[in-house]
Chain A
């Protein structure tokens, strides 16, 4: 089946540094990728939708200058948390899909970000 690779799986960084998270579709071309955030014991919250070759669409309340998304190719999207602060500590998950219905949506394994 289709696989989405996300890394790193865990990152610990100091406050003020930037962290890049990669999301790759391994055996299909993902025209659309989604980035979610999940706090403990809470559900997935969509942060932004990225389409290959165009600017990402951010959900209300998500700072686009803080969470930079680049979808430079059909198999790779990156999320950069700039100048991370402790309140950015969270679990970030990406998902990717080819053209087609949403059951063809595949999730990465997630990245646990801890900002000290």
Chain B
């Protein structure tokens, strides 16, 4: 059964801290791994990773995929209170015979950044 596991499930830090969120997966026909940030209601896209070892960066956020270890990390440096959210990891796996993939979501990591 395909699955995506995130750790930790929750994390409380203080502003300025650096955090690392983990995502591991077991899927057949892996296509890509995605990170989303969910604040109020709808998730917003952060990164899509398809190749191992290539870091994607956006401001204080960065992410990298390790296809050998079947995992990815999301780093946030110099955290701010506005980073408080649930961070979701999702893996796209190809359907049998199909070109469109389903997204399998992990349970998410709830990050709370205290002032």
Contact = CB atoms under 8 A, between A and B. Distances in A.
Interface of A: 32, 34, 36, 41-46, 49, 91, 93, 101-103, 105, 107-110
A34 B34 contact: no
Interface of B: 31-32, 34, 41-45, 48, 88, 90, 92, 100-108, 110
A11 to B, nearest CB: 14
Contacts of B45: 103, 105
Given A93-B41, A102-B34, A42 B100 contact: no
B42 A107 contact: yes
Contacts of B41: 91, 93, 109-110
Contact of A101 (B43, B48, B106): B48
A32 to B, nearest CB: 6
Contacts of A42: 107-108
A110 B40 CA distance: 10
Given A43-B106, A93-B43, 19 more contacts: A32-B100, A34-B102, A34-B103, A42-B108, A43-B88, A43-B105, A44-B43, A44-B90, A46-B102, A46-B103, A49-B100, A49-B102, A91-B41, A102-B32, A103-B34, A103-B48, A105-B103, A108-B42, A109-B41
